[in-house]
Amino acid sequence: MKKQVSTLSLIALAALSIWQYFTEHKKDTKPAPTTTQQQSQSAVKNTKDFGNYDVIMRDDAIGQNKTAPVDYYMLALSWSPAFCENQRAQYGNNLPDSAQYQCSTKNQFGWVVHGLWPQNANARSVTDHPRFCKGDLAPLPVETLEPYLSISPGAKLLQGEWEKHGSCAFDSAEAYFKQEKALFESLSLPNEQLSRKALFQWMKQNNPQLKGAYLGVSHNELFICYDRQWQVIDCPK
């Protein structure tokens, strides 16, 4: 069953995700099929020191909402080459610690998981969605993060998504990351950045479960929505 959700909610989420993670980068190329299993497997092998990946709730621009209901989920996928290109344009060879792992020349990423977000169907702004439901959490052990670096490349990214979003719907970080990985690996994804129209067409041609569903897109991010039983539903229009 498909479920319509708030237009304003997706607009706010898209704006936030761009501000936090990507800037606009447009490049239309011919589609070339791949699967998520082809994502760089060298990533985990190159794991070294992640530095300080703690996420401080009081520093978050949006803050906490531990009372909002969880009505559906939004899987946010990001095109990594555009992110790294922007980081290099901004910082040159002095990349911030949070981008070192993802943008290292040793690692090659295409589409990656930005996050899996529990959502409030009646949200009127981004602050109405569940966030930091368990408060400011301690950093997870590196051993918990390592298995997921090949799909969500950054210790601080994983830590932040668990604290901000995962803790609102999952009992443990392991369960949250496993669900992210299962959803990600259920998808076939192009290995080139496409225009909005071409991306939608490619995804629906190569992922039967997405046919008929309304997907969200904003510059370098793709959004796929699921109900609480993990069936694909319409994202906000």
Of 38, 7, 76, 24, nearest to 223 by C-alpha is: 76
Q: Which CATH class is domain 7-233?
A: alpha beta
Instruction: Tell me whether strands 33-35 and 188-190 are parallel, antiparallel or unpaired.
Output: antiparallel
**Annotated catalytic residue: which of 129, 165, 180, 221?**
165
Say what the pLDDT of residue 25 is: 38
Could you give the angle at which helices 173-185 and 155-164 cross, rounded to 10 degrees? 110
**Annotated catalytic residue: which of 114, 129, 163, 221?**
114
- What does the block give as tokens for 54? 């703690």
pLDDT in tens, the chain (237 residues): 444 444 445 444 544 554 454 433 333 333 444 544 445 443 444 445 577 899 999 999 999 999 999 999 999 999 999 989 988 999 998 888 888 888 877 778 999 999 999 999 999 999 999 999 999 999 999 999 999 999 999 999 999 999 999 999 999 999 999 999 999 999 999 999 899 999 999 999 999 999 999 999 987 899 999 999 999 999 988
Q: Please, which residues bridge with residue 222 across strands? A: 77, 217
Please state the domain extents for the chain: 7-233
Q: Could you read off the pLDDT of 28-48 as tens digits, one per residue?
A: 333 444 544 445 443 444 445
**Annotated catalytic residue: which of 161, 180, 192, 221?**
161
Task: Write the CB contacts of 210 (distance below 8 Å, at least 6 apart in sequence).
Answer: 203, 204, 224, 232
CA dist., res. 137 & res. 142, Å (int): 15
Active-site annotation holds for 129: no
Tell me the pTM.
Answer: 0.80
Q: Could you read off the pLDDT of 186-201 as tens digits, one per residue?
A: 999 999 989 999 999 9
Active-site annotation holds for 25: no
Q: CA angle 144-119-205, nearest 5°?
A: 85
